[in-house]
Amino acid sequence: MIQSEWVNNGNEANGLSTDRDPFVGADSSSTSPSPEGPLGASFTIPQPDGSCPTIHNLPQFVTPRGGAYLFVPSLSGLSRLCVDPVVARPAPPPTLPAGTTFIALYESIKAAPGNPPEAVLQEQIDVVMLYQQHLVELGNELRAADSTKIFPTSIGVLLGTAADMTEVFTRGDVFSVCGYGERLIDLTGPFILGMDAGPQYDRESSIMRFVTPGSDLQALEPWIEGLAASLVATAVSQSGTPFDLVSTVAVPAPLRFVGHYFGVPGPDDETFMAWLRAIGISVFEWWSAFFPSIKDVTTSISPAFEAYLDGLIRQRSADIAAGTTVPDDVLTRLLSLPGVDSPTHPMALDRLGIRRNLGGFAVGSSVALSAAIVSAVQYLLDPANAGALQATQAASRARDAALVRQCMLEAARLGDPSPPSVFRTALTDAVLAKGTLRETKIPRGSIIVLNPTIAMTDPDAVPDPLTFRTDRPAGTYMMFGEGMHTCFGTAIATMILGAVGQALFALDDLHEVSPMQPGVGIPGEFYPGSYLLASGHI
């Protein structure tokens, strides 16, 4: 097609002649004589003034020797190649420099003849990212003096207190989620977690709350308990044989829920979680903007993800129209609302709106929860936390679901990897912590970093913050957010976390075989890749 229509026949582009390309075209006069002479022996060159001078008697510069149609991978195949490269495992997190502090280290980076501004910025990013792996230490340092509890850096304002993070979370008129919305526009399109208060947010959040009512929880609880029990039983089917917690439980548990409840099962676990992780890290982690490779991967997988969602929506629409029995899930409920084909209908989303919100809820329901399962289990199996493990095992064997959930929440709060950070953008010049010694002016456009781990280990908000306790109020767990954009699925996330804990810690002699290893490539290296466990018997 390229050779015959574009190169040799010009494809009549924009009304131009069908002359062959003068450099790579083929002179076929010997095999296909033309009344006008050799094919492509001339080339017309339109000029801005409307004239069209022609060059005649061009020689043939290139002689084709053959051609073939060649296999080209599908978009989904290319996406998988992009998101799962075979590279070496990343090195363990670097340790903190001895004898220094974050603030001293950050402020020591100065522009100088041998250290230009771009190098300074990169060094500052490196220091801030180093401390993202040591958030308890960072929080303790920022809280050590009032003057440093709010610390502006070149890439974001760091906060050291739960009170300041709560203020940012709850002042949505000043501290906006628009940064998420801007990133989502290039991917799945904005959904409600990337919208500030306004008519569109009110309308779409009302619709999503209507199709995900709290009354669903009663039916979901036994289903989730059965799912967790089944996954764990399958994983440990051979007594004493190691199993990978990540691939057998932590990844499939939230993905099965997304498939069952939202109607989005994914093509397969590996591909689906790779999509969701890439989108999640690109959109919600404040620091992802400083890693162009993350955006490159996310942009590459976005078409496949959108095409997959569009295909689900088309098929379900066809099934509904044909009277086929369909699941009573969120997808069916959205497509069954009146006015689904009218984007202005007050009680319906059009198909693009359905795709946007299904994609967003799939990300929000799976990525952080999968990591939290690994984090909680890893904390509880650490020999240093034997008391916490015993309490969790006792609650599991007593089938005390509420206590198991509390144990798993506490373990996820204290475990590694830490709950993901989020961010807000200042819409105007604002004052944070007004009336306190740490009162700080936040310039318009600033990125404010919200690290749940720092908030959840603030002794002014959480008594005995590094102690495992099962009597903490729900407000302790800031990993679910605060204010208008508190996680829609908090109740379900804790339910899944608890059900997995119930199934795992009822096992006899559950123990770690090898430490948790991060994944490979992007986005895998930012998430748990494998974690081998074993148990004696059920």
pLDDT band at 85 (very low <50, low <70, confident <90, very high): very low
Q: Which residues of 254-270 are buried (b: 16+ CB within 10 A; e: fewer)?
A: bbbbbbbbbbbebeeee
pLDDT at 187: 76
Domain identity same for 143 and 66: no
- Are residue 279 and residue 422 in the same domain, yes or no? yes
- Amino acid in the structure at residue 249: V
Residue 2 has pLDDT above 80, yes or no: no
The reported pLDDT for the residue numbered 83 is 53
Q: What is the mean pLDDT of residues 190-204?
A: 87
Same domain for 245 and 329?
yes
- Residues 26, 86, single domain; the answer is no
- What gap in Å lies between CA 256 and CA 240, rounded to an integer? 26
Q: In terms of domains, do 29 and 138 share one?
A: no
Has residue 80 been placed in a domain? Answer: yes
CATH code of residue 524? 1.10.630.10
Q: CB neighbours (10 Å) of residue 338?
A: 10
Main-chain dihedrals φ then ψ at residue 397, nearest 5 degrees: -70, -25
Cα separation, 166 vs 168, whole angstroms: 5
**Final residue in a domain of this structure, among 70, 85, 104:** 70
Q: How confident is the model at residue 21 (pLDDT cuts 50, 70, 90)?
A: confident
* Residue 99 domain-assigned (yes or no): no
Instruction: Assign 259 a pLDDT band (cuts: 50, 70, 90).
Output: very high
Tell me the average pLDDT across 309-332.
Answer: 95
139 part of a folded domain: yes
35 pLDDT band (50/70/90 cuts)? very low
In a domain, 491, yes or no: yes
Mean pLDDT of 38-64: 75
**pLDDT-based confidence at 14, cuts 50/70/90?**
low
- First-to-last CA distance in the chain? 63
Q: What percent of the chain has pLDDT over 70?
A: 91
The answer on 86 and 34 residing in a single domain is no
203 and 148 within one domain: yes
Q: Beta strands of 185-253 (E only): which ranges?
A: 243-244
Same domain, 88 and 3: no
Does the pLDDT of residue 43 top 60, yes or no? yes
Degrees (nearest 5) of the Cα angle 448, 523, 187? 70
In a shared domain, residues 80 and 25: no
Looking at the domain assignment, is residue 109 inside a domain? Answer: no
Same domain for 26 and 152, yes or no, is no
Q: Answer yes or no: is 126 within a domain.
A: no
* 147 assigned to some structural domain: yes
Q: What is the mean pLDDT of residues 184-189?
A: 77
**pLDDT for the residue 39:** 46
Host domain of residue 262: 76-93+133-534
Tens of pLDDT, residue by residue over 448-479, are 999 999 999 999 999 999 999 999 998 899 99
Choose the most confident range, by mean pLDDT, from 35-39, 196-200, 322-326, 479-483: 322-326
Q: Contact, 363 vs 277, CB < 8 A?
A: no
Query: Please, what is the average pLDDT of the chain?
Result: 87
The per-residue pLDDT for range 407-426, each reduced to its tens digit, is 999 999 999 988 889 999 99
DSSP 157: E
370 has pLDDT over 90: yes
One domain for residues 45 and 81 = no
Rounded Cα distance between 407 and 395, Å, is 9
Q: Which of 196-205, 389-398, 480-489 has the lowest mean pLDDT?
A: 480-489
Q: Is 113 inside a domain boundary?
A: no
User: Would you state the pLDDT for residue 36?
Assistant: 46
If asked whether residues 48 and 84 sit together in one domain, one would say no
Strands (E), 225-298: 243-244
Strands 150-153 and 54-55: unpaired
- The tokens of 447 are what? 């990125």
pLDDT band (50, 70, 90) for residue 88? very low
The total domain count for the chain is 2
| Across 203-224, average pLDDT | 93
In this prediction, residue 10 carries a pLDDT of 65
